[in-house]
């Protein structure tokens, strides 16, 4: 039952075909589940596909095999929210994955053009400037870095020295070697960046700038291609960020992020250290060093990528 033709999608061409995205997302989620994970018998060597078969998933979701097959082939235009909920439960999707599935299967018409310029309110810039205890960054769609405070520049590098189009988390993480040295667990950070980019792709499949970004990174980074093909999605809003700063050494910072009430496509990310910790003292030193710390940032004054 798994020999149906699938929509073809080459990430290197930069095209984000919603049908292919839906098909690949469902197949990768199905492939990660084993029969024993969901209480089904495993016939061992007789299984020809990784993970669950389509008919097994359809049984768990309470839909016909033909219906689920059409959905996995990217034909989700008329699928109901109730069916998507049942499939999400059968696939054991996280909240972020469930939302991503809904965006792919039933894309909503956006009131704002997908490729529009992202603007920052003046009061937000003022707010960032007043946040002196730790890095604070305003991040937009595609991981674009829209605004930041002085401590963010001291910790992550002075993005003002970069052309605007290069102020993007994905480009920094995958194309600039100094950021491999900055993040202690670079692979984890890279996965977070790609997972968030996947969420954006599900919500904005027709964004030409996002398509161009995916195409560029797919050509230039084998690691990006590998992570992009996994179709993992994640909406990270808090956690620990471990860094190795060239001036002060190890930094353990707590990340808290918040979507803006009037623009959910912009997120305010803040970082702070535990009071009295070595990381708190390191941030205090960076703040006292001013411009020198800002220029050190991620290890050196930012250099242009090839």
- CB contact at 8 A, 279 and 253: yes
pLDDT of residue 44: 56
pLDDT of 207 above 80 = yes
- Which of the listed ranges 73-77, 156-160, 223-227, 286-290 does the model predict with the highest average pLDDT? 223-227
CA distances from 16 to 3, 74, 110, 166 (A): 24, 13, 17, 21
Confidence of residue 269 (pLDDT cuts 50, 70, 90): very high
pLDDT of 14 above 50 = no
For the segment 83-113, what is each residue's pLDDT rounded down to a tens digit? 999 999 999 999 999 999 988 887 765 555 5
pLDDT of 139 above 60 = yes
pLDDT of 165 above 80 = yes
| Helix, coil or strand: residue 300 | coil
Q: Looking at per-residue confidence, does 200 or 8 come out higher?
A: 200
Six-digit token pair at 198? 């996947």
Quick one: which of 149, 130, 181, 154 has its CA closest to 285? Answer: 154
pLDDT of 182 above 90 = yes
Q: Looking at per-residue confidence, does 228 or 10 come out higher?
A: 228
Q: Looking at per-residue confidence, does 284 or 304 come out higher?
A: 284
pLDDT of residue 264: 80
Fold of 11-105: 434 Repressor (Amino-terminal Domain) (1.10.260)
- Which of the listed ranges 66-75, 80-89, 198-207, 292-301 does the model predict with the highest average pLDDT? 80-89
Q: What is the DSSP letter of 42?
A: -
In terms of DSSP bridges, do strands 249-260 and 238-245 run parallel, antiparallel, or are they unpaired?
A: antiparallel
CA distances from 62 to 57, 66, 84, 247, 298 (A): 9, 12, 11, 58, 51
State the sign of the Cα–Cα–Cα–Cα dihedral 294, 298, 300, 304. Answer: negative
- CB contact at 8 A, 54 and 65: yes
Looking at the domain that runs over 122-296, which CATH code has it been given?
A: 3.30.450.180
> Average pLDDT of the chain?
84
pLDDT of residue 36: 78
pLDDT of residue 152: 95
Domain boundaries, the chain: 11-105, 122-296
pLDDT of 15 above 60 = no
Q: Please give the Cα distance from 71 to 23 (Å, whole number).
A: 7
Residues of the chain with pLDDT > 90: what percent? 54
pLDDT of 7 above 70 = no
| pTM as predicted | 0.81
pLDDT of 305 above 50 = no
């Amino acid at each position: 039952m798994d020999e149906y033709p699938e929509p073809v999608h080459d990430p290197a061409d930069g095209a984000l075909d919603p049908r292919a995205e839906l098909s690949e997302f469902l197949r990768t989620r199905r492939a990660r589940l084993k029969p024993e994970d969901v209480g089904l018998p495993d016939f061992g060597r007789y299984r020809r596909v990784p993970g669950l078969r389509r008919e097994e998933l359809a049984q768990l979701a309470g839909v016909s095999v033909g219906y689920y097959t059409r959905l996995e082939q990217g034909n989700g235009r008329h699928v109901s929210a109730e069916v998507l909920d049942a499939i999400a439960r059968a696939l054991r999707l996280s909240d972020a994955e469930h939302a991503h599935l809904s965006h792919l299967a039933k894309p909503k018409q956006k009131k704002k053009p997908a490729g529009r310029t992202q603007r920052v309110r003046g009061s937000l810039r003022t707010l960032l400037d007043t946040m002196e205890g730790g890095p604070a960054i305003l991040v937009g769609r595609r991981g674009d870095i829209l605004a930041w405070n002085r401590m963010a520049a001291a910790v992550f590098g002075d993005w003002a020295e970069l052309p605007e189009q290069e102020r993007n988390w994905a480009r920094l993480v995958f194309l600039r070697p100094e950021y491999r040295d900055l993040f202690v667990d670079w692979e984890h950070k890279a996965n977070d960046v790609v997972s968030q980019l996947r969420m954006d792709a599900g919500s904005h499949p027709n964004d030409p700038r996002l398509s161009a970004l995916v195409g560029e990174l797919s050509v230039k980074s084998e690691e990006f291609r590998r992570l992009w093909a996994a179709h993992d999605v994640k909406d990270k809003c808090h956690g620990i960020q471990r860094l190795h700063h060239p001036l002060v050494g190890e930094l353990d910072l707590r990340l808290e992020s918040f979507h803006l009430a009037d623009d959910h496509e912009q997120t305010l990310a803040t970082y702070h250290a535990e009071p009295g910790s070595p990381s708190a003292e390191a941030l205090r030193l960076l703040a006292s060093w001013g411009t020198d710390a800002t220029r050190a940032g991620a290890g050196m004054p930012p250099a242009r990528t090839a």
